[in-house]
Amino acid sequence: QKEVEQDPGPLSVPEGAIVSLNCTYSNSAFQYFMWYRQYSRKGPELLMYTYSSGNKEDGRFTAQVDKSSKYISLFIRDSQPSDSATYLCASQGAQKLVFGQGTRLTINP
């Protein structure tokens, strides 16, 4: 079993829709959870990170962690074509980051 599991998609939604991206993790010791955005043929860039359980909001993006169910979510409101990318969730353990498989998202105008 992978330590972080993510549905690879692909996911295609119309512009303006609310997008929900999800991951699960297995290691109870993980405390930090990140979402990276990766455009085609580019390196990932950090969107946001959260510590422990709870929500964190940044503009149209909301990250949510539920440690009781080991569930990580990213919500995108009012999605735009420029949001089309691969989204990677990651958890931080000792010495390294553990990444999910990445979900490829397309926002259709």
- Identify the DSSP state of 37: E
Count, residues in the chain: 109
Q: Does 46 bind other proteins (CB under 8 A)?
A: yes
For position 61 contacting other proteins by CB under 8 A, the verdict is no
Residue from 79, 66, 83, 56 nearest 25 by CA: 66
Q: Which is nearer to other proteins, 31 or 55 (CB)?
A: 31
Of 50, 42, 39, residue with least CA distance to 92? 50
Question: Interface with other proteins includes 45 (CB under 8 A)?
Answer: yes
| Residue 27 near other proteins by CB under 8 A | no
**Terminal Cα-to-Cα distance of the chain (whole angstroms):** 37
**41 binding other proteins? (CB under 8 A):** yes
Give residues in contact with other proteins (CB under 8 A).
Answer: 4, 6, 8, 31-32, 36, 41-46, 49, 51, 88, 92, 94-97, 99-102
